[in-house]
Amino acid sequence: MKGRFMRSLCGAAALSLVAAGAPLLAQNATGPTDADLMADASSPGDVLTYGMGPQAQRFSQLKQIDASNVSKLVPAFAASLGGEKQRGQESQPIVYDGTIYVTGSYSRLFAFDARTGEEKWEYDARLPDAIMPCCDVVNRGAAIYGDKILFATLDAHMVALNRHTGKVVWNKQIADYQAGYSATAAPMVVKGKVIYGNSGGEFGITGAVEARDVNTGELIWRRPTIEGNMGTLNGKDNGITGKTNASWPGDLWKTGGGATWLGGTYDPETNLLFFGTGNPAPWNSHLRPGDNLYTSSTLAIDPDTGVIKWHYQTTPHDGWDFDGVNEFIPFDATINGKPMKLGAKADRNGYFYVLDRTNGKLVSASKFVMQTTWANGINLKTGRPNYIDANRPGAPTTAKGTSVFASPSFLGGKNWMPMAYSQDTGLFYIPSNDWGMDIWNEPIAYKKGAAYLGAGFTIKPIADDHIGALRAMDPKTGKILWEYKNKAPLWGGVLTTAGNLVFTGTPEGYLKAFDARTGQELWKFQTGSGVVGSPVTWEQDGEQYVAVMSGWGGAVPLWGGEVAKTFKDINQGGALWVFKLPK
């Protein structure tokens, strides 16, 4: 796989900047403040955060576009990312002050005029030839603060640009790309700190969450996610994560994985960051007996100090690459007559978890996919899965171990693509996939910069009529109220609005709108390439707009095996599509 990416990257290390005109520089000289970011969910005139609010519910109060008129939605404009770098476009747009900011494949960032689609400027990171992205050369979005727009790059840098001109304000290396580190998630800004995770779990890296001064880029705190590693605060030691060798044998904690590759959410009410952690390394679970904390978990972290306040592990001793990085979305609900501060997570392992977000205590866990062959439920008293031991891949000797069939596949009941929560319906809308895999373990040893799996796999469909399924889940009951089935895997994010609408995209190229209460498909538009980005909506000049990135890619065509071959003819692309109602 590495060679494939290297060939693709030849000649890709060009810096392309188109300077903005003088009138643009005279616009808002400051920009979004901490207070603006925290109020993003209730400010319909812009999109300032990844998730449309720090809690990332992806719910808009706008309802000019609703279930009765969405069928009339038409394109306002489309803006091309251009060039030959048309890989997966998983970005979520940021919208502010008449400008739409989107990141593109190969660590690019674009500024487009929000009224015309005209490009204002473009920044291309200078990527070295030897980067080692696991799962396509994607980027999921940027963060905005003051006069800066910030994003991460595939060679593990965090870059701050002037949002008017695209010129570099600061550029900091966050990890060693030659050891397998990369970065693809959208950062977040909390209390003047840009906070982000890292990628590279398939290369035996050590996951971490870091916070830097948003104005200078200087490191404030660092919290590793694997037991035994030391955290820092203001350049000083700030306590070991967990307890050395408590759940890891020998020195395996030094290369334990647990990448925080999807980024996090923030809850102002509890002043907690929530970050999911990835798979333990290697995948071969027989080499690392124990729970392998804090992999495949949700961590609640103090944004001021980087101290872990609580954790919940969804797949202890993960042996299927189920990961646990999926977003944790805070919400409030009344359960059994008791108002509660909760959070929900649709995990790659196929279960939808509801936790008390103040302490991490499990409230409920419900299956949201067709099959979970690795476990037959979650014990609500212990919070642990009821494992089916016969369905863990066998230990290898000198050759591969016993192969088992596991469902979901390692690509997950839900992968990176963010779900949405409607404050109107009280439902979560989950972009899910029904598939399985044959998986077996193989001998493996760590080598810096080399793949560190110790497993092989073949992904298989488990249903005749679909792989993807958009499902509406009631978090109070764990019941699925409706579902929309899609032939190809769903790989894009979800948006829901007060107009009783749910938007999401499909690999077949469509952006679609559904009735939020019934699941009836109300509208679709063909964008020309697979939609694997996250749609957003905002109000501008008295009109409501909807935008989404189009461009097929991501992990499915790279890792999907026979399933990927089924959809090999989907065209790649790179375009921002913006829609509104006709006047």
Query: pLDDT tens digit string along 449-467?
Result: 899 999 999 999 999 999 9
Mean pLDDT calculated for residue range 147-173 = 98
pLDDT tops 70 at residue 13: no
Q: Say whether the peptide bond before residue 23 is cis (omega within 30 degrees of 0).
A: no
How many CA atoms does the CB half-sphere of 432 hold within 13 Å?
32
Specify if 561 maps to a domain.
yes
For the chain, the domain total comes to 1
Higher pLDDT, 25 or 543: 543
Tens-place pLDDT, residues 44-56: 999 999 999 999 9
For the annotated catalytic residues, the residue numbers are 321
pLDDT at 293 over 90: yes
Please state the pTM of the whole predicted model: 0.94
- Tell me how far apart the alpha carbons of residues 368 and 481 are, in angstroms, rounded to a whole number: 11
| Rounded Cα gap, residues 186 and 445, in angstroms | 32
Stretch 496-520: mean pLDDT? 98
The band of 4, judged by pLDDT with boundaries at 50, 70 and 90, is very low
Tens of pLDDT, residues 375-424: 999 999 999 999 999 999 999 987 899 999 999 999 999 999 999 999 99
- Residue 163: which of 220, 217, 204, 121 has the closest Cα? 121
Residues 514/506, Cβ–Cβ less than 8 Å: no
Query: What type of residue sits at position 464?
Result: D
Q: Is the pLDDT of residue 503 over 50?
A: yes
**What pLDDT shows up at residue 566?**
77
135 assigned to some structural domain: no
Angle at CA of residue 476, ends 473 and 479, nearest 5°: 40
d(CA 456, CA 472): 33
Indicate whether 144 belongs to any domain: no
CA-to-CA distance for 49 and 271, rounded, in angstroms? 17
Q: Is residue 255 part of a domain?
A: yes
Write the CB contacts of 540 (distance below 8 Å, at least 6 apart in sequence): 45, 95, 98, 114, 115
Residue with tokens 């727009």: 149
Is the pLDDT at 28 greater than 60, yes or no?
Answer: no
What is the per-residue pLDDT for 6?
36
Q: Could you count the other beta carbons within 10 Å of the beta carbon of residue 380?
A: 11
Residues 580 and 547: their CA atoms lie apart, in Å, by: 9
Q: How far is CA 204 from CA 132, 136, 207, 363, 453, in A?
A: 12, 18, 9, 33, 8
Length of the chain counted residue by residue: 583
Residue 130 covered by a domain: no
pLDDT class of 565 with cuts at 50, 70, 90: confident
Domain range spanning residue 469? 2-124+151-580
Q: CB of 148 within 8 A of CB of 111?
A: no
Look at residue 25 and tell me whether its pLDDT is greater than 70. Answer: no
Core vs surface per residue 233-272: b (16+ CB within 10 A) or e:
beeeebeebbeeeebbeeebbebbbbbbbbbbbbbbebeb
Q: Work out the average pLDDT over 277-299.
A: 97
What is the structure's pLDDT at 133? Answer: 84
- Tell me whether residue 166 is in a domain: yes
Q: Which of 245-254, 370-379, 483-492, 548-557 has the lowest mean pLDDT?
A: 548-557
Q: What is the pLDDT of residue 531?
A: 97
What is the SS3 string spanning 280-306?
ECCCCHHHCCCCCCCCCEEEEECCCCC
CATH of the domain at 21: 2.140.10.10
- Cβ atoms of 368 and 473 within 8 Å: the answer is yes
Three-state SS string over 141-183 comes to: ECEEECCEEEEECCCCEEEEEECCCCCEEEEEECCCHHHCCEC
- Tell me whether residue 129 is in a domain: no
Q: Which of 83, 85, 103 is nearest to 93 (CA)?
A: 103
Q: In the sheet that 193-196 helps form, which strands lie side by side, from edge to edge?
A: 188-190, 193-196, 208-213, 219-224, 230-233, 236-240
Displacement of CA 393 from its chain's centroid (Å) = 27
Do 188 and 264 contact (CB within 8 A), yes or no? Answer: yes
For residue 328, tell me if it sits in a domain: yes
**pLDDT of amino acid 272:** 98
